[in-house]
Amino acid sequence: MTDTILIADDHPLFRQALVLAVQKVLPTAHIREAGTLSAAAHVAVETEDLRLILLDLKMPGAVGYSGIALLHAERPSVPILVVSSADGASAAEEARAFGAIGFLRKDSDLAVIEAAIRDALGGKASVSQGSGEAQMDTIRRDVANLTPTQLKVLLAVIEGQLNKQIAHSLGISEATVKAHMTAIMRKLDVSNRTQAALVARSLGLDLRH
């Protein structure tokens, strides 16, 4: 079975640079490309032999770290390596907290990117941990454990959509939306949708990177 690697980035030129890096590390890899989060999620679901996802945080359909959370929910066993222009150590820490195995800036040297791809394929993660992060880490894990549909519902709540609007956009019934909200509130240990949205915002899910 051929190893497939998904490159999810909305910039064609940067996708091509990542293609070259992947080919250098794993010449036999079958490479799939996606320019939107929905397209990336579709590839992730349908590709049985997916070995690695290279993901940009800022792409159509993604809000903050929601791309990581959604793809991790779809394929929890597939490592996600974020390659992004997001700045600062906090972005790297948040990315890992939501399920990424590693984080690289887009301006990293090609050799660094290749080494990170090699490490990710080998299951090696670089994780740095702050001493006062235990509570936030628990909340991050709770969000990362939401199902793909629950994440979509939560993102719609952050945008201020009503249950009727969410039901229409996701092609489900209002009763199903309410059931998902109940499950979300239980997983996040909150009592209403406003608190759920505040928890998500506190984790950067409403920030664009």
pLDDT at 133 over 60: no
Given the candidates 3.40.50.2030, 3.90.1300.10, 3.40.50.2300, 3.60.15.10, the CATH classification of the domain at 4-121 is 3.40.50.2300
- CA atoms of 39 and 27, how far apart (whole Å): 24
Compute the chain's Rg from CA coordinates.
17
Cross-strand bridge partners of residue 8: 34, 55
pLDDT at 164 over 90: yes
State the pLDDT at residue 128. 39
More confident residue, 57 or 90: 57
State the pLDDT at residue 9. 93
Q: In whole angstroms, what separates CA 191 from the centre of its chain?
A: 26
State the pLDDT at residue 140. 74
pTM of the predicted protein model:
0.65
Class of domain 134-202: mainly alpha
Closest CA to 8 of 62, 75, 88: 62
Res. 40 pLDDT band, cuts 50 70 90: very high
State the pLDDT at residue 129. 40
Q: In whole angstroms, what separates CA 11 from the centre of its chain?
A: 17
pLDDT at 32 over 70: yes
- CA atoms of 184 and 193, how far apart (whole Å): 9
Average pLDDT over residues 137-144: 74
Res. 180 pLDDT band, cuts 50 70 90: very high
pLDDT at 4 over 90: yes
State the pLDDT at residue 91. 81
What is the residue extent of each domain of the chain? Answer: 4-121, 134-202
How many other C-beta atoms can be found within 10 angstroms of the C-beta atom of residue 43? 21
- CA atoms of 83 and 116, how far apart (whole Å): 10
Q: In whole angstroms, what separates CA 63 from the centre of its chain?
A: 10
High-pLDDT (> 90) share of the chain, %: 33
pLDDT at 34 over 70: yes
Burial 131-163 (b: 16+ CB within 10 A, else e): eeeeeeeebbebbbebebbbbbbbbbbbeebeb
pLDDT at 151 over 50: yes
Average pLDDT over residues 20-39: 92
